[in-house]
Structure formats: C-alpha cells, structure tokens
Amino acid sequence: MTATYDLTASDFWAFSTRLYSDPAIAALCLRLQDNAGVNVNMLLFLCWCLKHQRLVVLKQWHTLKAAIAHSEHQLQQHRQRRRAARHDVSEEHAQYAQLKASELELEAQQQADLVSAYNNMTVDTTDIPGINASVVAFIHAYNLRDNTAAIADIRQIIKESV
C-alpha cells in the first residue's frame, strides 16, 4: 500500500524526545553517531517509520540525507565547539549551557527539514508492525553492511523503541 503522511515537525520532535529520554537509547544513538557517522535524527526517524509502518527505500534515505546535509555540517561544527566547552580549561566553559541549548535548536531545525523532505515523498506502508525493509535500506545508506557493532546497536535501539 502507498501513502503520503503529513508528519509535523512538532510530532516528530515529541516522538524523538520521548525515545531519546531513555538513557540506554541515547547512549546507543551517540555511539552510532560518534563511531559510525550515523545521524541521530535519521536514526530516530527510522524508529518513527518502523513504529508507523512506513517503508523508506534506499533512494529515499539518500534523498533525506541530502535534505539535511547542510544542517548536518553546521551541527557537527557546533557539536565540536560544545564538546570543547565542556572541559574546565576551555574559554567557552561558561557558555556550555547556551551552546547545548543552541545545539538543540539546530537539531529541531534539522528535524523540520527532514520532516519537510519526507512529506514530499510517497512511501509504501505495511500491515506488519516492527522491522521492515527500511532497516536494511538505512544500513546501506550509511554503508554499515560490514559494521557488526553498528548493526547490533541499531538492532538494540529498534528492539527498545518499536
């Protein structure tokens, strides 16, 4: 079955923050970000797709990645600055809380861009809840086929979230 879905940025943000508030899921997301180059918002979006029985194919994952490429570069730069500010010797240590808040704003904007790109797609749906072909396509989109640790982390996130 094919469907369009008018997902809102606020609905996706609410879904993401609920999921990410689980410390185990947050740790797995950050490990995938730091060790495998996975975009956390894309990973959370994969979980949303699975929860809502949406099938996102490889070409669509590439389209979504392209839609957030510019903001991803901005986020990576901002994240490096925030992480440097976390250390006591940093000149920006006093600004750490503000940098963290700014990073959340950038994340929210990236999610809005992701949702906008998704809402311009036509995706297939499935009647079967849980894991679907979107997972394999996501793994291929991030070139993780041979990264057993990353695949295990994705599997664990899915198990905990869907």
Q: Which residue has the higher pLDDT, 1 or 123?
A: 123
pLDDT (tens digit per residue) in 66-89: 999 998 888 888 788 877 777 756
CA–CA dist 152, 137 (Å, integer) = 16
pTM reported for the whole predicted model: 0.88
Model pLDDT for residues 96-150, shown as the tens digit of each residue: 778 888 888 999 999 999 999 999 999 999 888 777 899 999 999 999 999 999 9
- Using CA atoms, how far apart are residues 53 and 156, in angstroms rounded to an integer? 18
